[in-house]
A and B are shown apart, each in its own frame.
Chain A
Amino acid sequence: MTKQKNPFRSFFTSVYLTITLLVFTVVLSIIGTFIPQQDAARGFAQGMPPGLASFLQTMQVFDLFHSVWFFLLMLLLSLNLIVCSLNRWPLTWKQFRGAPSSGEEGLFRGLSPERIFLCDEDVGTMTGRIEGFLGRKYRKIGKTQEKEDAVIICGEKGRYSRFAVYVVHMSVQLLILGALMGAFWGWEGYVNIGEGEKADAIDLKGGKGTKALPFTIRCDKFMVSFYENGAPKTYRSDLTFLKDGKTIYQGPLLVNHPVSLEGVQVYQASYGSSPDGRASLAISRGGQEGKIIKVGPGESFSLPGKEGTVQIVRLEENLMQMGPAVKILVRSGQGEVSFWIFLHIDKIREMNPGVTEQVPMFNPALFKPYLFVLKGIEERYYTGLQVSRDPGAPLVAAAAVLMMVGLIGTFFSSHRRIWIKIQPAGEKTRISVAARTNKHPVVLEREVRQLTEQIKISLEKGST
């Protein structure tokens, strides 16, 4: 029977193809780490001649890991794996199903001298003893009667490890599938929400527009604490998730502890303070202490003596390296006047004597008979959330588990088979040990040595 060679099949079963594809993947990945990708590529491309930049853009060099080239490589690798696995499967299955006793022709031919030895015990005694030894470490112990009163005892171990390499390759397939699912149906983006505010859409990564969320996120509170060296220690947001006006989930969100809701993952990614905090202003009229009012930018209030209104025009956390300050605009019958009120006005005066006289804009008592004192600026934080959905992630996780199981089976287990022939040799009995394995011959060699040692030691003990 002649088997027609399918050119498609023989191309995809070649290991050279696998190695070529893996090398291509390596080369493409190296390029991808040296040429800035995605968002980082924009600045990089601006420094190039526009023709070259647009050519590279068309060739998808600025997003190599999501490019047609990469998909093509993964697709070919996938096909290569499937065809190779299918091609080798019948042989593996045959070997797996093979009877434990069947060894190939000439199994006992050309054995090394230490694997053949003579003893005084008869065949029956030795058969029983060796069966006992073999049974301790091996499974499927079998016994066959051969010609000339010879007996062959066989045992084996690790039959299932023949499948291990298929498990590894299946896990790679699953990984590629999961990654593709993530690339096609997943998305990732960011949203900043100020304390007390809500968001129901996010900005997609890479400037790909916005995406509406299946729920609304409200940031109720944001807290951050710092180490002595100024690095953030912990930060968390207290969030409420709403759908159709109803709360569906409420709880804190911390770094490393995402919230998963309706297939969408929400992560604590960053934070910042918004410029629209509130200022605490103390107003004294003619040296008489007044009450403290809290106002935000753009807000107005009336002066206690009804001379006019005050509006907060600007609020700076650090104006000209002199600390927090607010700029107010006083509207009165005399017209409009605007000036800055610094938190650290006393210190500024100390450092620059006479500054409030030289620069009236910095004089908190510019509008007489009032004196404005800035007591503080309440920072208003916003929380930076990363929101993503990846329907492929469970597949990738399953692939990881499979891969580990497969790798352990591939590297640390093998199908080891041992045959021990016990035959009469004149007055004595000859014992020959043969063994086969599908991989890791060194491991098998060690096991056979241990087994023969064990048999020899038992002989010495038996004779004394």
Chain B
Amino acid sequence: MTNTMILSWVTFLYFGAFVFYLFCLVFRKEFWGKGAFYTVIGGLVAHTVGLLLRWQESYALGIGHAPLSNFYESLIFFAWAVVVLYVIVEWRIKNRSLGVFVLPVAFLLMAFASLAPNISDRIQPLVPALQSNWLTSHVVTCFMGYAAFTVAFAIGIMYFLRNIPLFGFIPEGDILDELLYQNTVLGFVFLTLGIMTGSVWAHYAWGSYWSWDPKETWSLITWLIYAVMLHARYVRGWKGKRMAVLAIIGFAAVLFTYLGVNYLPGLHSYLQS
């Protein structure tokens, strides 16, 4: 299948971009920065082509559906959303230091999808419960949310590293604080939409908009953690280090919602593919 081949090459492009970002910061030469940015753009274009091809190939197999239906496809889309968001942020703040922290995440997601032995990269047909237009809107909104939280997490990490002389390239605290807040808000809005579209879908497919399934419960936990974070900022004026800590805690909850719940006893077994 062409798409999996393209997507495994994208993994290396993201790794290359990460190395170039490192060079850019170490040698302080714009040459490497430009190189890194163009590599990311090249990777993103190939990534998008890979996703579209996969979509088309699924139709050629007669089981056409958007490439958002199993674990492999979710990892690939997660990485795609992270990179899209990163490109927007770099373009807006005109600072490349975030790339050193975000690109490794995209690279790891792609590498995990391509290399983990128990993740099937085959295009699988959809069981009846997944045959719904809500699948696409639910997965897209959730992973856009996860991607924004991932970027916020990377900024939170940067916040703690910026006082170490080695990481002198990190922008000043106020810029990080604002960026962290903006990404958290974006993530929160998308997560809210993701939970809502999931509820509507559950209402049609499972007969109940909410059934306290571990995944649902953990998405609520994640939502509440970010709600606390936003209240702390709005009402108590929390900034800087405290927000960075909360962004890291929130991201841990995101990871648990995405991956951890698979190890918990759950009722919705037909979600496990």
Contact = CB atoms under 8 A, between A and B. Distances in A.
B228 A22 contact: yes
B207 interface: yes
A18 B231 contact: yes
Contacts of A248: none
A36 B221 CA distance: 17
Interface in A415-436: none
A256 B134 CA distance: 10
A272 interface: no
B192 A22 contact: no
B169 interface: no
A33 B207 contact: no
A235 interface: yes
Interface string B188-205: 110011001001100111
Nearest to B211: A188
Contacts of B264: 33-34
A234 B189 contact: no
Interface stretch (A53-61, A192-200, A327-335, A400-408): A400-408
Contact of A26 (B203, B225, B231): B225
A65 B232 CA distance: 26
Contacts of A26: 221, 224-225
B227 interface: yes
B205 A256 contact: yes
B80 interface: no
Nearest to B132: A256
A449 to B, nearest CB: 15
A255 B125 contact: no
Interface stretch (B12-20, B52-60, B64-72, B212-220): B212-220
A400 B63 contact: no
Interface in A39-55: 39-40
Tell me whether chain B's interface is mostly helix, strand or loop, or mixed.
helix
B206 A403 contact: no
A383 interface: no
Interface stretch (A95-103, A107-115, A224-232, A358-366): A224-232
A32 interface: yes
Contacts, number: 102
A30 interface: yes
Nearest to B182: A442
Contacts of B265: 36, 40
Contact of A232 (B127, B204, B212): B127
Interface string A225-261: 0010101111100000000000000000011111000
B236 A15 contact: yes
A86 interface: no
A255 B221 contact: no
B232 A19 contact: yes
Interface string A357-381: 0000000000000000000000000
B157 interface: no
27 contacts: A15-B231, A15-B236, A25-B224, A29-B221, A32-B217, A33-B214, A33-B218, A33-B264, A36-B265, A227-B63, A229-B125, A232-B127, A233-B125, A234-B128, A234-B131, A235-B128, A254-B128, A255-B128, A255-B129, A256-B128, A256-B131, A268-B128, A386-B207, A387-B207, A393-B203, A396-B199, A403-B192
The 10 A-B residue pairs with the shortest CB-CB distance, nearest first, are A255-B128, A267-B207, A386-B207, A33-B214, A227-B125, A65-B212, A15-B235, A256-B132, A411-B185, A400-B196
